[in-house]
Chains A and B, each alone.
Chain A
Amino acid sequence: MTKIGLSPETVRGHATSIENQLGLLDHAQQSLQTAGLMSANPLNYLLSPGALVLSPWSITQTSMANVEIALARASARELVQKLLYEVGAQEFASSALDGSYETGYAWRTDDAKKIPDLEPGDLFNPLNFAKNLVDNVSTLYGLGETALLAAKRWAEPVFNDFKAWWKALPPWAGKLSKFGKAIPILGSAVSLIDLGIAISEGDVPGIIQHGGSIVIDIVTAALAPTLVGGLIGAGVGILWDAGWEIADDVQVMIENPTAMYEYYQEVPWMAPIHALAPITVEIWGPLAG
């Protein structure tokens, strides 16, 4: 992939060179410090009392110089770190695709350090696109229905207002509500695809996660005629998915603790969206994918 602007490799080379020079400065500062200490406390260094390493009037100046070198060295290191952070930001910007950048995805390698060459499949993978679309639509639809169920239970006037508005819509709205029935079926199809990927990759947690989802779906379908059994099955399915999702998020945060900070530095306009609807962090945010 073509990178515009500074060359991260070159800057990293310069940073390493500066770090080496600072290492030499470390040695010089250490020698200066030792000389100062020897002059101030000769007995501690097995020197005869009265023996001088530095003239008395130089000792204070040496200590001052020592502090100044230490401060200068710390500042230089901080500057190098800032420079390296800018390199990271440049890599992030140059590696994000237009579409993915808008939605908050950044195209990076798994270790988040290297930028691989761009392949046609990286631009658009129909299987992943379809899978993510189904996954996200099902999630949003399911959340919408859950919110309505909660409203029906605890805020009936709001629920009734919504229902009156909904039922005043043209006939296509009725078809849309019937579409909801297809969502769990599409969800099972997604779980089957994920299970296939997990088996082919030998991914044991993936096999347990997606195999478990399918088993819960089957039990839910078998209990659906009893109504209560179906709803319990659906609840278990939600907890199962949420548990794995949370575990994934925790893993991301452990492996890359600065991921959130870096994300919002690059895509600040997503912050209010995430604040208003936290679930979108999972869908179009730093924890997506």
Chain B
Amino acid sequence: MPADTAPVSDNTIRLSQELDAAGRPAPAEFFYQVHHTTANTLGSDAMIFLAPLNPRETATPGVFTYTDPQRGSGTARLEGFSLIDAQRIQELVRMQAIEAAVGPEPLKNPDLELGNALVLRSNNPWFFLVFGLIVLGFAIWLLSAAAGVGDKGAVYTTMGIILGAGSIVLFVIAAIRAPWWRKARAEARKDGGPLPPDLTGL
């Protein structure tokens, strides 16, 4: 996605180039306005442009260094973003650095702008493990009670088997995500500071 040379107001990334692709000093400024083009947050949409630039955090929030073999290197500054969007871009830039160190996140969930309350999802593999154990418990309860409920036994057995299969799905998700989760958290701790929200809680 090409950047513009004229400044724009809202949701803009200002690229202050210092070196060109060949590594020669070539000061220049470019502007890129982020538009909402997907169902994800504006932060994720901004990362479609930022990610190939390999951004890295600096001490100043909203300012990143970048190194793009095809474009050059310099600093990228967020301008005209709301606080919520700017914070999200900051988090995603940090997550990109972590993924570069430990590998891509398996079964990565979408970063939904809307629909959060509709879709059950979690980054935390331990959530899936606990959820799976509880569901397995209910499956065992149903199957063990099936014999003593007469005609209702078929429903108990069927639902018990379905929930048992569901618990296996949850265990598989947990098993796939857990190794990456552990490594990513360890990598995030190396930087110091709080863990990014994508690696905490549910």
How many A-B pairs have beta carbons closer than 8 Å: the answer is: 131
Q: Does A37 contact B (CB under 8 A)?
A: no
Contact (Cβ within 8 A) A149 B114: yes
Please measure, in the bound complex, the distance between the C-alpha atom of A168 and the C-alpha atom of B10, giving whole angstroms: 13
With A167-B82, A214-B163, A225-B110 known as contacts, the answer to whether A202 contacts B152 (CB < 8 A) is yes
Residue of A nearest to B173 (CB): A222
Contact (Cβ within 8 A) B142 A142: no
Contact (Cβ within 8 A) B82 A145: no
Which among A199, A219, A221 is the interface contact of B121 at CB below 8 angstroms? A221
Please measure, in the bound complex, the distance between the C-alpha atom of A217 and the C-alpha atom of B115, giving whole angstroms: 14
Main secondary structure of the interface of A (DSSP, over half): helix
Q: How many residues of B contact A (CB 8 A)?
A: 42
Contact (Cβ within 8 A) B166 A214: yes
Please measure, in the bound complex, the distance between the C-alpha atom of A204 and the C-alpha atom of B166, giving whole angstroms: 19
Q: Does B138 contact A (CB under 8 A)?
A: yes
Quick one: which of A95-149 are within 8 Å of B by CB? Answer: 138, 141-142, 144-146, 148-149
Quick one: which of A190-208 are within 8 Å of B by CB? Answer: 192, 195-196, 199, 202, 204, 207-208
Please measure, in the bound complex, the distance between the C-alpha atom of A218 and the C-alpha atom of B131, giving whole angstroms: 9
Q: Does B59 contact A (CB under 8 A)?
A: no
Question: What string of 1s and 0s marks CB contacts (under 8 Å) between B110-126 and chain A?
Answer: 10101111111110000
Q: Please, which residues of chain A bring their CB within 8 A of the CB of B101?
A: none
With A184-B120, A207-B155 known as contacts, the answer to whether A218 contacts B142 (CB < 8 A) is no
Contact (Cβ within 8 A) B118 A142: yes
Which among B82, B119, B127 is the interface contact of A224 at CB below 8 angstroms? B119
Please measure, in the bound complex, the distance between the C-alpha atom of A191 and the C-alpha atom of B39, giving whole angstroms: 28
Which among B39, B117, B128, B149 is the interface contact of A145 at CB below 8 angstroms? B117
Q: Please, which residues of chain A bring their CB within 8 A of the CB of B108?
A: 225
Q: How many residues of A contact B (CB 8 A)?
A: 50
Q: Does A233 contact B (CB under 8 A)?
A: yes
Please measure, in the bound complex, the distance between the C-alpha atom of A214 and the C-alpha atom of B165, giving whole angstroms: 12
Quick one: which of B145-178 are within 8 Å of A by CB? Answer: 145, 149, 152, 155-156, 159, 162-163, 166, 169-170, 173
Please measure, in the bound complex, the distance between the C-alpha atom of A199 and the C-alpha atom of B169, giving whole angstroms: 23
